[in-house]
Amino acid sequence: MSQTILRVEGLSKTFPVEYSIVERVQGKPRRAVKALTGVSLEVQRGETLGLVGESGCGKSTLARCLVRLYDADAGRVEYDGLEVLKLRGAGLRQYNRRVQMVFQDPFSSLNPRMTVVQTLREAILVHGLRKPQEVPGRIRELLKLVGLPKDAERRLPHEFSGGQRQRIGIARALSVEPETLIADELVSALDVSVQAQVVNLLLELQERLHLTVLFVAHDLRLVRHISHRVAVMYLGRVVELADTEKLFSNPAHPYTQALLRAAPELDPSRKSVLEAVRGELPSPLNPPPGCAFHPRCPQAFDRCRQEIPALVRRGPEERLVACHLLEATEAKPQA
C-alpha cells in the first residue's frame, strides 16, 4: 500500500524584479517573476518521483522551497504529518536532516579546504548521530556505500573527478541518515557515461535504504530510468503527473506530448525542443492568461485562453492532468 510522505498543496513563490529608478519615476508597477503558481503534488514513501520541464519552469524553486532554502509565499507542505512551512529552530533542523538536498554542482557545496573525512565527520557530529569513537567506522561504511575507494578519506574535493565529487555529495547527504533525498539536476553537469553510473548508484541506494527521492532533471531518459512516477511542470505549475511508463507510452497533456516528441534533452539551447513545442517559453513575469500553454498549444480553443485548467484526475488511472481537452471523469473533491 502506498503511503503519502510529502504533500504539497497550492505552493506559490514569486521573486520581485529589481525596480529601476526610471520605472519608479514613470510610475510603473513593481514586477515579479511567478516561479511557482499553486503547485500541488504528493510523493509516496519509498518512491522516486521525477520532476521534469523546460529550464525556467520552476523545478529548482520548488525543490528549494521544499527544503526551506526559499520561503514560499503561499501554500502548504506536509511531511510525515509535519507542517513544514511552519517549522522553526530544532524542528526545522530535524526536518532538514530527514530531508536532504543534493545539488548539481558538489563543488559549490563542498568546502574546498576540507578533506572527505573532515566533511563527513562534521556532518555526522553536528546532528549527534554517532558517538565520536564510532565516526571513523561510519565514514568507511559511507564511502563503501557510494563506491569511493578507502583512500578517498584524506583527499580534498579538487582531487576527485566530477562523478566522484557527486558521490561525495551523496555520501554527505547520507551521513545524516535521511529518509528523503531531493536531487536537483544531480548529474546534469557530468559526462553521459558517468551520469549513468551515478544514477544507477542512486537507484541502488534508494532500494537498499528505502529512500524517498524527488529526482529533478531535464533529461527525460534519466527520469524514465529512475522514476516510479513523473510530474511534468510548465511555467510554475504541474500539468501532468502519472506512472512513468504510462506517461511515456501515453502522454495525456499536449505539453507532455510535445516534450516526448522533442529530443530527450529539454535543454533550451537545443533547437529541436523549440521546434517540437512551438514558440518560446513565455516570460514568467507575465504568464499568458487561462492555460499558460495556450500560445504554444496546437489544440488550444477559446476556453483555454480564459480559464486556467485545474489539475484533476482523468480516467480510471491515478493520473492527474491539467487540460480542458480532457473531460474530468473523476474530479478531485473540493476543499
Ligand X SMILES: Nc1ncnc2c1ncn2[C@@H]1O[C@H](COP(=O)(O)OP(=O)(O)O)[C@@H](O)[C@H]1O
Residues lying near Mg ion in the complex (CB under 5 A): 59-60
Does the footprint of ligand SF4 cover residue 237 (CB under 6 A)? no
For 227-293, strand residue ranges (E) read 229-234, 237-243
Residue 238 C-alpha cell reads as 504541474
CA distance 147 to 134: 20
Partner that binds at residue 34, options ligand X, Mg ion, ligand SF4, none, CB closer than 5 to 8 Å by kind: none
Which residue, 32 or 300, is less far from ligand SF4 as judged by CB?
300
Does the footprint of ligand X cover residue 239 (CB under 6 A)? no
Does the footprint of ligand X cover residue 237 (CB under 6 A)? no
Exposed e or buried b per residue across 90-115, where buried means at least 16 C-beta atoms within 10 angstroms of its C-beta: eeeeebbbbbbbbbbebbebbeeeeb
Partner that binds at residue 33, options ligand X, ligand SF4, Mg ion, none, CB closer than 5 to 8 Å by kind: ligand X
Does the footprint of ligand X cover residue 35 (CB under 6 A)? yes
CA distance 113 to 136: 19
User: Which of 229, 294, 314, 319 forms a contact with ligand SF4 (CB under 6 A)?
Assistant: 294
Which residue, 51 or 205, is less far from ligand X as judged by CB?
51
C-alpha angle with apex 85: 17 to 203, nearest 5 degrees?
95
- Tell me which residue has cell 527525460: 220
The pattern of x and - marking residues 280 through 299 that bind ligand X according to CB under 6 A reads ----x---------------
Does the footprint of ligand SF4 cover residue 304 (CB under 6 A)? yes
The pattern of x and - marking residues 253 through 272 that bind ligand SF4 according to CB under 6 A reads xx------------------
CA distance 200 to 177: 20
The answer to whether 215 touches 194, Cβ cutoff 8 Å, is no
The DSSP bridge pattern shows strands 237-243 and 320-321 to be antiparallel
User: Which of 31, 44, 45, 56 forms a contact with ligand X (CB under 6 A)?
Assistant: 56
Closest CA to 157 of 185, 125, 119: 119
Which residue, 217 or 311, is less far from ligand X as judged by CB?
217
Does the footprint of ligand X cover residue 107 (CB under 6 A)? no
Does the footprint of ligand SF4 cover residue 324 (CB under 6 A)? yes
CA distances from 239 to 26, 193, 197 (A): 37, 31, 30
**Cβ 261 to ligand SF4 shortest distance, Å:** 14
CA distance 309 to 84: 27
Residues 47-106 interacting with ligand SF4 (rule: CB under 6 A):
none
Partner that binds at residue 309, options Mg ion, ligand X, ligand SF4, none, CB closer than 5 to 8 Å by kind: ligand SF4
Residue 21 C-alpha cell reads as 529608478
- Tell me which residue has cell 529552530: 89
* Part of the chain binding ligand SF4 (CB under 6 A), chosen from 66-74, 116-124, 266-274, 291-299: 291-299
The DSSP bridge pattern shows strands 312-313 and 320-321 to be antiparallel
CA distance 244 to 49: 9
**Cβ 331 to ligand SF4 shortest distance, Å:** 15
Site residues, ligand SF4 (CB under 6 A): 253-254, 291, 293-294, 297, 299-300, 304, 309, 323-325
Site residues, ligand X (CB under 6 A): 15, 33, 35, 53, 55-61, 284
